[in-house]
Copies of this chain bind each other. A is one copy, B any other.
């Protein structure tokens, strides 16, 4: 499993080298240039680690504020927060720690040592990650099983129970065609009963909300989830 890291700097250009170095160490890196952007990306990929990279002295004053801002958000509850800054004043470090930082790393630092520190911190991460309840799609869509909700284009979509269950069933084996009988037996439990066009109507409702491209009809057989829509790389 690969860890997800948010790399924050107002000026993303400055992150190029660090980003590349970390990616070379098998981390899944997202470059972020605002807290707002972080919040949005986190809905899709709650990060294990968040590096607040401070470039210029002008940034410094905001650091503590940014820590507090991040720690307020439920989604970052279990995220390790690292400050990476050229400024190492004691008082500033203490304030950052108080605001919820996990480490304060002085700039510059050699990548190898940084990776060592990151791994030492990740080792302590509680293994309850929110990712477990999320199913990612390539088209900016995420199913949240716990919440019974779907996030698409940063908007929450609510599916009623039957619709949600059908969609979930299809996602268990993306690309596999599920016959109506299979769907009935799984979702409705009861024996192989002649069910009219109920499933079709549910599929219709799902398509209405998520778009027609998500579920494909295989005539005479059943329905399937559009296979290359599922983002397996993230799931691994």
Contact = CB atoms under 8 A, between A and B. Distances in A.
Interface of A: 67-68, 71-74, 77, 80, 90, 93-94, 97-104, 110, 112-113, 116-117, 119-121, 123-126, 144, 146-149, 160-162, 173-177, 218-221, 224, 227, 230-232, 234-235
Given A71-B232, A102-B120, A103-B103, 4 more contacts: A90-B110, A101-B120, A103-B120, A146-B176
B148 A100 contact: no
Interface of A is mostly: mixed
B68 A90 contact: no
A30 B65 CA distance: 37
Nearest to A231: B72
A77 B124 contact: no
B116 A218 contact: no
A74 B138 CA distance: 12
A148 B221 contact: yes
